[in-house]
Chains A and B, each alone.
Chain A
Amino acid sequence: MNFDPLVIPFLAGTFFLLIVISVKYFNWIHKLDANQVAAIRKNIFSIHTIKAINEIFHESLLHRKIYRKNRLLGYMHMSLAFGWFLMIVVGKIESLFYYGSFYDRPWLGIFFKYFARTPHHYFMIIPFSFIMDLLLLVTLSGVVLAIFKRIRSRSLGIKKTTNHILLDRIALTSLWWIFPLRLLAESTTAQLTGNGSFLTGTVGMLMAHLPVEHIELPLWWAYSICIGVFFIAMPFSRYMHIPTEIVLILLRNWGAREGEQHSGYTDIQLNTCSRCGICIDACPLDFAAQINTVQPVYFIRDTRYNHLTQEVADNCLLCGRCVEACPVGLELTAIRQQVRQKAETPGKHYFEYNKARENTKKVDIVYFAGCMSHLTPSIIISMKEIFKQAGISYWFMDEEKGLCCGRPLRQQGYLQQSKELVLKNTQLIHSSGAKMLVTSCPICYHSFKEEYSLDIPVMHHSEYIDMLMNEKKLDLAPSDLEMVYHDPCELGRNCGMYDSPRHVLNKIGHLTPVESEKEKSLCCGGSISNMAIEYDVQSKIRNNALEVLTASQPDVLVTACPLCKKTFGQNGKVKVMDIAEIVAGNIKNRFPQII
């Protein structure tokens, strides 16, 4: 007996799933852009593929990143993903032992207990039954945790869970039912044939007083239907992340990255989102300002199903906390910038540069303060003092008639205008003949690093001051200041610079660590990326961040971004200084002032 109509729902679901997934993947891979294809061609036969397979094992099956968020949550995901995966694999091996052929009908492993009704047919029955029961128990514990998470998500480290759409709920319910139904079905069969182990055998005995021979078949049917429903719902629901994450990990390891335009890679990223909702807790708009419809989970969902509204697309600080938190590593901020893209007139020149000056002297470095630094002149004065004390000759590029670096326009989707500014600034920087570009604004710094292809190195002033100290060009006097340091989003998460500013500040005074720092640093709320929120919402985010930062009652809150300084300064609760100011005020062995 190797076939029974009860496998039909399972088979129908499986075939449907395979066909839909194949069509989708073909389309997406076909739509990859030229850079992505080139990267894949280059790396497909290299060590990167092995690294990808390693990552697939660790992230798709075990999911270490979720473990890092919360152990119980990690266990929940692992027991479901890895447990089910092993049940399929071990079930296949078991049927291989039983039937002696690898290429036997595929459903035999899934419905093994139903078909293998002569348990003493082969000697491995006891260990296999034991392993299969154990795996089922592990998977069931995952289901129990998943149900518990719906009631008390905080116990699993999640404050707010996702609001799911109907399709997700259907898929979720059918997934949850698969395992209890399998337990009941296998238990009835175990009671009838004696092929159970510690779990199915025991549950079967408990069911002894029921008419097991009549309920066995309906239970197996229900089990098969649940798998079928789950497979049919899967490609259109959040569970598309199961196969798609594997593809994403492969492509990412081969070097594919999100481009400026929507591509097949974007579709793959959109489908890799499992709507776990970990990003909701990470988003300052949620926990500080109670805005709960714009988080990446909803943004990605709306983009995937083509009903994204401008309100959702625009309402984002691009602070990158969600990118840091995302367990599948989606480039959420890149996709957000992509959908903001606006129509522009091709070939049009938007700006005139009659007043842009070029450098005429021979200098060591170019100094670009950035628009925002012009509103915090103390930073510029301090930088001038630092250059003077270190004996550096510089050209102050945007002292009077400077241009914007182009990042604000890019963030709002005006790519052509942004590129025009990039082009002009590049020309001005290159014509200066300097060997390095130093900027005081992390927004500009990020832009110079990512959007410009300059042939000289770029440094943020905190990194530059650190370098000057290492070269003994600048000596700082220690003081007894109690300081905390705020990592600006653009400098920290977006450019990965955490150590230089801390290194500099430790020379000056005592730096107290704060609760949310480095990768987990909070946004000041003043981000220029978000035009959708007004001053009142910004203040809520700012005040929330300040509460965390000033918990240790520091003398001064140090930051490295003029916009953060300006935003925090508006509160007036604590003295806010830029790292350049504090350095300029603590220089040892000052040159005598020449008046």
Chain B
Amino acid sequence: MRQIIWLSDLLSESGVEGQESELRALSLQLNDPVLKSTARLLILISLGINRRLGFVDLLNLTGVGKGSLSNHLQKLESKGLIRVRRIPTFGGLRVRVEITQEGLAVYRNYLELLSKLIAKSNNV
């Protein structure tokens, strides 16, 4: 999974002011090392939509291995963006991942940033 080049990095390098500042403020909130991974952002966006998902669903979504996914989840959980729970079922313990309020805020940020970028590129 590759790293994401964040808009804030580009903006700070170029020193663009004014019009870009809103986008910069938004992207700065997303510019966390924990979120500089496609897999982790994918997990967060998907949880933003579905609120909770199973471990197997997240494996299918990200296409990474079990160990790698556990590692990604651990990083997101340590940042307080998700909550990992073990739910007893008839088939044994199942891992269920839920998004927290902090995670939802990041997801809404992503939506806002994406819609602003798209609207901006449409206006150009």
Q: Do A and B come from one complex?
A: no
Chain B interface residues (CB < 8 Å from chain A)? none
Chain A interface residues (CB < 8 Å from chain B)? none
